[in-house]
Structure 1
């Protein structure tokens, strides 16, 4: 049936039912109805574009469960009052259409750890889904109800409706879709009046009594600028409030403060008690004994599905300060993060433990932490906050953003050029390869000499040495033949193998480096890329000459793609409907790009030099650990060990490089994308011993590999006196990114970090905690947080704000 793509039509009806009772106790029934007219399906890409242009109140996202079809869905967000209950969503479908596809819908790729170490992946294709005759997903809509803050930081309930307009039947490779979907939302609204607060505060500071005197200076400052603030000691909380452990007692106090004082911000002050040696974790759920202010650990095990084959490489839970922010569940009850009451908090995939599903996660207050380890650090950070808020306003340096990045993953397409040697005589042959970019500029020719000798056993090897040919950036397009290699013999035996990740990064996900010579066919494989900013498209030409210089074979792979993920995440261009960080930043900001592809990020000196000039924001997107942040040269030449560039380090040998920063009183907010950069439970001796325990098979999960790290990178930047950062945001666990063109659009680290800058630049938020918390809320409302295997829950649980959540970005005007 021929149909026209029609715009979405919202028929929004809000009605009330029932008489108003004299005793004011009868709830009102509210109803919202709307209709979605679904565009005709043509191709998947065109149909996604049609969905994107339907209505500004609708967002397009993707199901991204690893190995399952990557199908689009629409997100409709509805805000309803916090005192509503019995929220129900029903729907009806009008008309059903089918479309046979020319190609199957590709499986969603897994997120990959942003770790400066080799990893092993697994094959990601769920055959139980791809062989099924049942539609995927099973339903037309899903919906989720969560409690959380709205745009005005008022407590509401968020209803996120996920509509699947195009469902996929893999066995017959067809799409089914309706003409329209009618959706009805109903809920009961209490007729009780809103709560009146006798005493109202904006922020509470929670800290041990030993920090109280120094923190009083911050309390006085906040009250003087109109941020009503009070301080509560942990000792008083433990005495006055009940709970299963210290973190739960603190959370019950925060709930009390929300309901009694209507607080918006919570500043936790306190980290480990020592930089030298401290126990990071008392048990599976908490770190308290060696902490000034305790932490909650999740028990979400990303082993092995997400997406690592090696069991030893996973997080057995992470620090999550989001625990303290998520006070209420979707029904308005206390969100314990232990819904099955088994005493194991936020569990998933943990051996012999029942999963904790349907944790709300949405912030009801906005939490930040100053992970101070002594009075000196408290004093330094308090002074930085006060000085920043009273002197930064209208400063030239604030209107500057520095982004630092490179190539996150080797997302090389599998070029797989088949050379059939059956009819060729024995002898020497020369294989040539050249790459041409989208502007028609050709790079140097790579050359490999091989011998066809049917009397000998075959010798086929893998060689990855493009790092020897590119010395400066940007550079001409690169063609690299990785197999066969110079001097190889194509003989009478077959050869097939897959190089390890140490030799061929991300090969397990794309197969770009697999070696195959079978039945007289040599599969020529290699790399083709354009090492300059946004050099994402090249064509790869291979030709082969015999000893008489006659061309005996020629083949092309046109318009192959490779994306330098970190540069798209930090940059100013749009990819798959979503921009990088600079795309969302205001026009009056000076935008400084330190990228490996433009030659401005070559070493740590480049980064320290740029930061020392001052900036409002610094965004690093790459790989990390508690000690380092780094990324790769474009195309990851010679694999990771030959292409990794270190941007910042806490410890290098016996030195502390961050002390070289000279951005005195010109303090940026750092947003750092990578693994474990905000893992603030490290101390020197456990960090140093980690490598030894790791080699003995007793991994302590410090992720420091022998470096004696006293404090993690994110906190070290904040605690530096008068320089470094005013605040930092990063991951306490293995951060995860997406390869290739999905790097900005399908969740994980690349999505939530860019959302921070969208909240600042596009939504106009100017309080640090608001920008941070609403990035989390937007993430939660956009993605399916119940799909724990997809990694979305972990993405928000481990994203830590080390700083004052009430901080005024750019400072206050002088009075």
Structure 2
């Protein structure tokens, strides 16, 4: 994103007009705009919006600004203000020249209380939720916040198999001057975008659809998968890591193995036209290992005690928009050699839109490779509606709300999934009905189903809910651990499992690492009585998200989950009548996956992942808010990105 090279012109609107409208909430992405010529130089596209009158709700210490039908922009320590999003897509190579904004009459409301600042995100871990509301330095400012009526981001990504430029515009009908406690607002807005299209289409090659990157020892075991994909019209190429590093297909370049893989993917997009990348390899051992069969990238975005997190999005985000050009995104925008950094002033600006659909099979042994290959082939060939059209929903009271809204966040999220999958038979395992336990979970999943949504808390080896009635600090309910996954006995009736919680898909764990940490917890926390925060509750060789997939005779066909802390929200802080838990952060991303499948008709697994990530990056400010950036960086697909959801039968 380069805001300095694009002018934003703001005028008071005298006569409204326009060819498109800005929807409240995220708008459906526009088609490639039909241009109108502006002289002989630029093309232009316009959008207009009308906003309802804002009203003020006064709380004990603060005021909340509400516009019906709009949610609020949340950036911790900044005032919460209503906003709406318009996303425009342009052909790859388009240059955005200028953005012009016209408003109707600007009105002023003198407030009696300061506008409420947005709270910090809350981790979905085992600690008690603490809602922190702080005023940042912006509250001393004499200037309007935001600084303009719109903010915007320009990204580069893939949508419906086409490489595009995204222009996401956030329109704020209200702006706040903290020092004078005044609210400025407008009821109408017109936006005009001037742009130069590319001289010719880019990235038009079509040699392969899918590249599988794996260590050489897995080549023979993966060959049946290659043949299976080819039989279903997916042009597939298996490439070993040795071939990548040895410049067999393209010149090898990059500062380390992870960047060499990323440059290879870039070349494969440009020369072969690939859409999917399957990274087939994890750590070299489940016992004790730090050696990767297929490399990983760690994000340097710290959260609490967590300093690094695994981030496979790195391998999908190949390009960025810079000074009107499409360039390689090395995730080191400040050039200091630290990749994906978020530390004070040293913050890398990232594109975060996938340019290829990436999934990982984190196989550590040949047995795991053989198992997952067999599962994928059987699923795509034999998946049957008799069991696929079921969904298992498990959740409870994720946080003990302190806002007066006793929302059962996990169950609310589950219910939203049920509404999206309204033609599925839904089995609900809810804390409010006394059903959450491992026995019920094993029985429900053992019947077979198309989807599972777990919305609660987590660790690498266990998924939990909490009971705040028996204990105001939250009694842990052990809902499902990795050692119960072999008991599922669902055979070939394999679901896609979406796990809401912390660290459930932390696929760099090992038996040594987890056992060592459990021993430290026992000694430091329970014997010495000192504070100690651990990710682990039990010794495990591999994480829950991967265990589901690698389990023979049952388990799952793929999982979505967090490699680090998952983040959530409580209450209804923006007072729009909708629980915040389904409007922001991890649960928003999870629900986006279900919406893309159920309402938008996207039935290829990696495309649901990629579109959900891009939609999130377009809707929220991932380069301003660490919680939003962490949400997309941590969310990993452990599975085949080219998987046909529901199979080909």
Which of 222, 226, 237 does residue 230 from structure 1 map onto? 237
| Residue in structure 1 matched with residue 332 of structure 2 by the alignment | 338
Question: Does the alignment pair 1:711 with 2:542?
Answer: yes
| Residue in structure 2 matched with residue 40 of structure 1 by the alignment | 53
Partner Cα separation in structure 2 for residue 344 and residue 785 of structure 1: 18
Structure 2 SS opposite 1:638: coil
The 5 A counterparts of 1:203-602 are 203-240=210-247, 241-279=252-290, 290-302=291-303, 313-330=304-321, 331-349=325-343, 354-357=346-349, 359-392=350-383, 394-413=384-403, 560-571=404-415, 580-585=416-421, 587-601=422-436
Identify if the C-alpha distance between structure 1 residues 743 and 37 changes in structure 2 by more than 3 Å, giving closer, same or farther: closer
- Give unmatched runs, 5+ long, in structure 1: 1-7, 20-27, 53-59, 280-289, 303-312, 414-559, 572-579, 651-655
1:136-156: CA deviation from partner (whole Å, max 9, x where unpaired): 222211111000012x22000
Question: Does the alignment pair 1:68 with 2:78?
Answer: yes
Question: Is residue 687–residue 702 contact of structure 1 (8 Å, CA) maintained in 2?
Answer: no
Partner Cα separation in structure 2 for residue 193 and residue 658 of structure 1: 48
Question: Does the alignment pair 1:676 with 2:503?
Answer: yes
Shift of the alpha carbon at 1:128? 3.3
1:348-376: CA deviation from partner (whole Å, max 9, x where unpaired): 027xx82212x000000000000000100
Shift of the alpha carbon at 1:11? 3.1
Structure 1 SS opposite 2:433: coil
| Residue in structure 1 matched with residue 23 of structure 2 by the alignment | none
Which of 561, 565, 568 does residue 737 from structure 1 map onto? 568
Structure 2 SS opposite 1:295: coil
Shift of the alpha carbon at 1:342? 1.3
Partner Cα separation in structure 1 for residue 621 and residue 613 of structure 2: 13
Structure 2 SS opposite 1:329: strand
- Give unmatched runs, 5+ long, in structure 2: 1-15, 21-33, 59-63, 573-578
Shift of the alpha carbon at 1:412? 3.0
Partner Cα separation in structure 2 for residue 637 and residue 10 of structure 1: 57
Structure 2 SS opposite 1:785: coil
1:472-498: CA deviation from partner (whole Å, max 9, x where unpaired): xxxxxxxxxxxxxxxxxxxxxxxxxxx
Question: Is residue 611–residue 663 contact of structure 1 (8 Å, CA) maintained in 2?
Answer: yes
Question: Is residue 563–residue 636 contact of structure 2 (8 Å, CA) maintained in 1?
Answer: yes
Shift of the alpha carbon at 1:693? 5.0
Identify if the C-alpha distance between structure 1 residues 704 and 42 changes in structure 2 by more than 3 Å, giving closer, same or farther: closer
Partner Cα separation in structure 2 for residue 222 and residue 115 of structure 1: 39
Question: Does the alignment pair 1:764 with 2:587?
Answer: no
Which of 624, 632, 637 does residue 466 from structure 2 map onto? 632
Partner Cα separation in structure 2 for residue 274 and residue 38 of structure 1: 57
Partner Cα separation in structure 2 for residue 79 and residue 263 of structure 1: 20
Partner Cα separation in structure 1 for residue 203 and residue 261 of structure 2: 23
Shift of the alpha carbon at 1:261? 1.3
Number of residues of Structure 1 aligned to a counterpart in Structure 2: 599
Structure 1 SS opposite 2:319: coil
Compute the TM-score of the two structures, normalised by the length of structure 1.
0.70
Pairwise CA RMSD: 2.5
Question: Is residue 683–residue 711 contact of structure 1 (8 Å, CA) maintained in 2?
Answer: yes
Partner Cα separation in structure 1 for residue 208 and residue 336 of structure 2: 35
Partner Cα separation in structure 2 for residue 713 and residue 193 of structure 1: 43
| Residue in structure 2 matched with residue 648 of structure 1 by the alignment | 480
Which of 666, 685, 703 does residue 512 from structure 2 map onto? 685
Structure 2 SS opposite 1:751: helix
Question: Is residue 208–residue 234 contact of structure 1 (8 Å, CA) maintained in 2?
Answer: yes
Tell which structure's C-alpha radius of gyration is larger.
1
Partner Cα separation in structure 1 for residue 358 and residue 154 of structure 2: 22
Partner Cα separation in structure 1 for residue 381 and residue 48 of structure 2: 51
Which of 118, 129, 146 does residue 155 from structure 2 map onto? 146
